[in-house]
Amino acid sequence: MKLERSPFIVAAGDLSPGEHRDRTVRGHVEVELDGGRVDDDVEVIVRLTALADGVLAKGTGSFRATLICHRCLTEWEGQRSFEVLQVYQAAPDEDGRQLEADGSVDLEPVIHDEVVLDIPMAPLCRSDCRGLCAVCGTDLNTEPCSGHTDESDHPFAALRQLLDPQDT
Ligand SMILES: [Zn+2]
Ligand SMILES: [Zn+2]
């Protein structure tokens, strides 16, 4: 059985220095981070330009991500985008990536890295998100919490003891 060729691999071995090839590549990317997740097709419009000693990939990518508010845990979907600028070489220097044996370019690792970088570490649903009450879990954006003088008299505290009795 032959392994399916990645949709992110683009042939470039036939290009002479100075020539370029434009492609739109599309493939599935899955990423799970604290700030959000991606489980969607990523589309990248890329121009490959042959250099004397490699291939330059330059383009823009777009995808849909689900972001998770750092304070209130609300989730929302948004369209995201990123830039690709990467040199591929047969013998890569520290900024370069490895050309495939047939001279083609594998965009997958670059796209994966850019998607990960584009997801904020601590997204906020809005800049003044008030978050959740640390005691009762009330979403303080939608409901005021009257405050807790004694945590033990709250129904959530009793529930927490039931679920985890040794943590008292
Ligand atoms: Zn929020
Ligand atoms: Zn509360």
Ligand (nearest to CA of 68): 1
Ligand that comes closest to the CA of residue 130 = 1
Nearest ligand, CA of residue 145? Answer: 2
Question: Ligand nearest 74 Cα, by number?
Answer: 1
Q: How far is the CA of 140 from the centre of ligand 2 (A)?
A: 8
Looking at the CA of 146, name the nearest ligand: 2
132 near 139, Cβ under 8 Å?
yes
For residue 132, give the DSSP letter. B
User: pLDDT truncated to tens, each residue of the chain (168 aa)?
Assistant: 556 678 999 999 999 999 999 999 999 999 999 999 999 999 999 999 999 999 999 999 999 999 999 999 999 999 999 999 999 999 999 999 999 999 999 999 999 999 999 999 999 999 999 999 988 889 999 988 888 865 555 556 555 655 655 544
73: CA distance to ligand 2 center in Å? Answer: 16
How far does the centroid of ligand 2 lie from the alpha carbon of residue 132, in Å? 8
**What pLDDT is attached to residue 144?**
86
| Pairing mode, strands 20-32 and 9-10 | unpaired
Ligand nearest to the CA of 133: 2
Q: Who surrounds ion ligand 1 at CB < 5 A?
A: 69, 71-72, 74, 125, 129
111-136 CB burial, b ≥16 within 10 A, e <16: bbebbeebbbeebebeeebebbbeeb
8 A C-beta contact, residue 32 and residue 58: no
Is residue 95 a contact partner of residue 57, using CB atoms and an 8 Å limit? no
C-alpha distances (whole Å) from 120 to each of 73, 85, 154 are 14, 20, 35
